[in-house]
Structure 1
Amino acid sequence: MSSQIRAGVVGVGSIGKNHARIYSGLAGVDFAAILDTNPETANGISQQYGVRAVTRLSEFAELVDVATVATPTPDHYEVGKFLLNQRKHLLIEKPITERPDQAEELVKLAKERSLILQVGHVERFNPILSALEQRLTKPRFIEAHRLSPYPFRNVEIGVVLDLMIHDLEIILHLVRSPVKSIDAVGVPVLSKGEDIANARIRFQNGCVANVTASRISPEKMRKIRVFQEDAYLSLDYQSQSAEMFRLVSGMITREAVEVDKDEPLKRELQSFVDCSRRGVQPVVSGSEAAAALELAIEITEITRSATGELIKELGRR
């Protein structure tokens, strides 16, 4: 692959337009093509960034080396499969697909063709996560809150697959232990799927995670707190700020954690381009995204169970 890599975006709506913005300014990237089913949206992005807008996926594939797939979730599998068969490196927005078997097929396809398949769990590129990992020992309890106003988009899926999945993927990454049981509840308020949900996840190593997601909050909140034997860390994804509390010589100390602030999406796309160019595995692989998807679906099924309070043992994990 040449040093100048050709990039494109399929789906330039509320999420994809930001991928377009960043690709247009990345060094070593030729922002070559976009595709969107809405001609007005496509023309607007085309004029804004001087990028070619096409109407057929086959034509799009001829113009790019790497691509973001930011279509509605139900289209991820078919679009992703087509582009992988055309030997294109992909970044698919989360969730990777609607179903785990679809995700597994894309992972297998990418592996067979030696292609990069990265998934857009963008919080993994938030600088505060690096700060957390540097101080993490053995987490015992994790609490995460992810709240947003009603989006009026992406409501074909519930809040667990829309928002909570970000925290689920991070928690799986931090804990690195099989799930033992889940207790979850969810409530549909403005859409057919759950708009607010809470899950309590027990892991086989003893760690417990309590995760709340809502898309009917008046204000945004993106926070995670991690408790371990020697410290308690409180992190804010939005402000990219963090604090650490420790017991030192019988006294509780509180210290601000230094964070090198940066735009997570820019870091994500730069990493994707670098991995594609060098042929190395991405930070968030298709396999990791598939595991987060499976957990999110388990939680969604529990929230939609008859009682809404089912505790499901996951002995197969």
Structure 2
Amino acid sequence: MSELRAVLVGLGQMGRHHARALGALEGVELVGVHDPALTRESAAVAGLPLQDGVDDLLALEPDLAVVATPTSTHLDLGRRLAAAGVHTLIEKPVAGSADDGRSLVEAFAGTGLVAGVGHIERYNPALQEMRRRLDDGQVGEIYQVATRRTGPYPARIGDVGVALDLATHDIDLTAWVTRSAYRSVSAHTAHRSGRVHEDLVTAVAMLDNGIVANHVVNWLSPLKERITVVTGERGSLVADTVAMDLTFYANGVAPVEWETLRSFKGVVQGDVIRYAIAKPEPLAVELTCFRDAVLGLHDHVVGLAEATRVVEVAEALLASARSGTTVPL
């Protein structure tokens, strides 16, 4: 079987990771990259086949492309790749607005091409194991999903705020692990670092199945956190997607001896289990799934329509913050 010919647009922080992972992906040959900020000298040092523009990439007749450019460029690049008949993976968010996302859905509709979006947390082993355990009923009825995603401002991001960038991770993973869509959101934002776009958002949401979700997201903290807590009737599952760890905190079942606690009607802590799970690199898993979808082996990619719904929720967060009201979806 011949190798799939891959091209990459964008060699910023995420693009460089894609270049490395594509270069190591079995059955795929990275035949061309383009980034207007990269010189031929630096590309040669990195061993990358630099091209002068997207037209030059398309002239290489690629089978698949990865788009890792600023969000504002996704619509134009996606349309060009769809028109050229190239299977495409676009880094999240899919586009800068839900309208643009819907335009991308339309561009790829009926082409027979695989079009996916890089919501990489779905490929994090801690969250994959969490979802499996939730499906098995480990926590019973789910009451709440709480996420914290904080850290320093990434200089590479200039065209969107924290809601469309970081928060879209939590929106997507929450809907994915619970298998439920967002019904309504209420949010507050802040601008604390002098940039045009918001750098902090807190949100409370209701999902279609009655689960309450809340998200704390900012670019203002020196502490990098990537935590997801799912609480249910039997306990809580806690995923740390930086360490790729998953821990279960069970509700206590042993009798309480201390009379003061005996009268307490809430939950007490039981066993705590930290699971030993395999930890493959999420990006490598994501690209492997994209390759296999292109080969027709399965369709385990995040589709454009799904990713556009994530942007719709992010836009609702911003609308809620502006209006001071709860926004239905």
Query: For residue 182 of structure 1, what is the aligned residue in structure 2?
Result: 185
Find 1:128's aligned residue among 126, 129, 132.
Answer: 126
Indicate whether 1:230 and 2:230 are aligned.
no
Structure 1 residues 43 and 163 mapped into 2: Cα distance closer, same or farther (>3 Å)?
A: farther
Amino acid at match of 1:222: R
Find 1:60's aligned residue among 57, 62, 70.
Answer: 57
Query: For residue 326 of structure 2, what is the aligned residue in structure 1?
Result: 311
Task: Return the offset for 1:46.
Answer: 4.2
Question: Unaligned stretches of 5+ in structure 1?
Answer: none
Structure-1 separation of matches of 2:103 and 2:280 = 34
Structure 1 residues 297 and 43 mapped into 2: Cα distance closer, same or farther (>3 Å)?
A: farther
Using the size of structure 1 for normalisation, the TM-score is 0.92
Query: For residue 320 of structure 2, what is the aligned residue in structure 1?
Result: 302
Worse overlay, 96-105 or 175-184: 175-184
Q: Give the total of aligned pairs.
A: 308
Q: Are the aligned partners of 1:225 and 1:234 in contact in 2 as well (CA < 8 Å)?
A: yes
Query: For residue 255 of structure 1, what is the aligned residue in structure 2?
Result: 273
Structure-2 separation of matches of 1:61 and 1:246 = 54
Report runs of 4+ in structure 1 exceeding 4 Å deviation: none
Give CA deviations for 1:9-47 in whole Å, capped at 9, x if unaligned: 10111111110011111111111000111142x642343
Amino acid at match of 1:219: L
Indicate whether 1:11 and 2:10 are aligned.
yes
Give CA deviations for 1:132-156 in whole Å, capped at 9, x if unaligned: 0121034220100001111122122
Q: Are the aligned partners of 1:43 and 1:53 in contact in 2 as well (CA < 8 Å)?
A: no
Structure-2 separation of matches of 1:264 and 1:113 = 28
Q: Secondary structure at the match of 2:198?
A: coil
Q: Are the aligned partners of 1:131 and 1:257 in contact in 2 as well (CA < 8 Å)?
A: no
Structure-2 separation of matches of 1:113 and 1:228 = 42
Task: Return the offset for 1:56.
Answer: 2.3
Amino acid at match of 1:215: W
Worse overlay, 227-236 or 246-255: 246-255
Structure-1 separation of matches of 2:291 and 2:281 = 16
- From the CA coordinates, give the structure whose radius of gyration is larger: 2
State the Cα RMSD in Å. 1.7
Query: For residue 83 of structure 2, what is the aligned residue in structure 1?
Result: 85
Q: Are the aligned partners of 2:130 and 2:177 in contact in 1 as well (CA < 8 Å)?
A: no
Q: Secondary structure at the match of 2:220?
A: coil
Find 1:272's aligned residue among 284, 290, 295.
Answer: 290
Query: For residue 244 of structure 2, what is the aligned residue in structure 1?
Result: 240
Indicate whether 1:108 and 2:106 are aligned.
yes
Give CA deviations for 1:86-130 in whole Å, capped at 9, x if unaligned: 010111001101121221222233231111111011111100111
Structure 1 residues 126 and 177 mapped into 2: Cα distance closer, same or farther (>3 Å)?
A: closer
Worse overlay, 19-28 or 105-114: 105-114
Structure-1 separation of matches of 2:64 and 2:78 = 12
Give CA deviations for 1:163-220 in whole Å, capped at 9, x if unaligned: 0100101111123334332110010112111101101001232100010111111121
Worse overlay, 273-282 or 232-241: 273-282
Task: Return the offset for 1:6.
Answer: 0.8
Q: Secondary structure at the match of 1:201?
A: strand
Structure 1 residues 123 and 161 mapped into 2: Cα distance closer, same or farther (>3 Å)?
A: same
Amino acid at match of 1:54: Q
Q: Are the aligned partners of 1:140 and 1:229 in contact in 2 as well (CA < 8 Å)?
A: yes
Task: Return the offset for 1:279.
Answer: 6.0
Using the size of structure 2 for normalisation, the TM-score is 0.89
Worse overlay, 177-186 or 112-121: 177-186
Q: Are the aligned partners of 2:94 and 2:304 in contact in 1 as well (CA < 8 Å)?
A: yes
Structure-2 separation of matches of 1:216 and 1:291 = 27
Task: Return the offset for 1:230.
Answer: 1.9
Structure-2 separation of matches of 1:194 and 1:23 = 33
Indicate whether 1:95 and 2:63 are aligned.
no
Q: Secondary structure at the match of 2:101?
A: helix
Structure 1 residues 254 and 178 mapped into 2: Cα distance closer, same or farther (>3 Å)?
A: same
Query: For residue 222 of structure 2, what is the aligned residue in structure 1?
Result: 218
Amino acid at match of 2:300: P
Q: Are the aligned partners of 1:34 and 1:46 in contact in 2 as well (CA < 8 Å)?
A: no
Where do residues 201-216 of structure 1 align in structure 2 (5 Å cutoff)? 201-216=205-220
Structure-2 separation of matches of 1:145 and 1:155 = 22
Query: For residue 172 of structure 1, what is the aligned residue in structure 2?
Result: 175
Indicate whether 1:285 and 2:303 are aligned.
yes
Q: Are the aligned partners of 1:12 and 1:45 in contact in 2 as well (CA < 8 Å)?
A: no
Question: Unaligned stretches of 5+ in structure 2?
Answer: 256-269
Q: Secondary structure at the match of 1:17?
A: helix
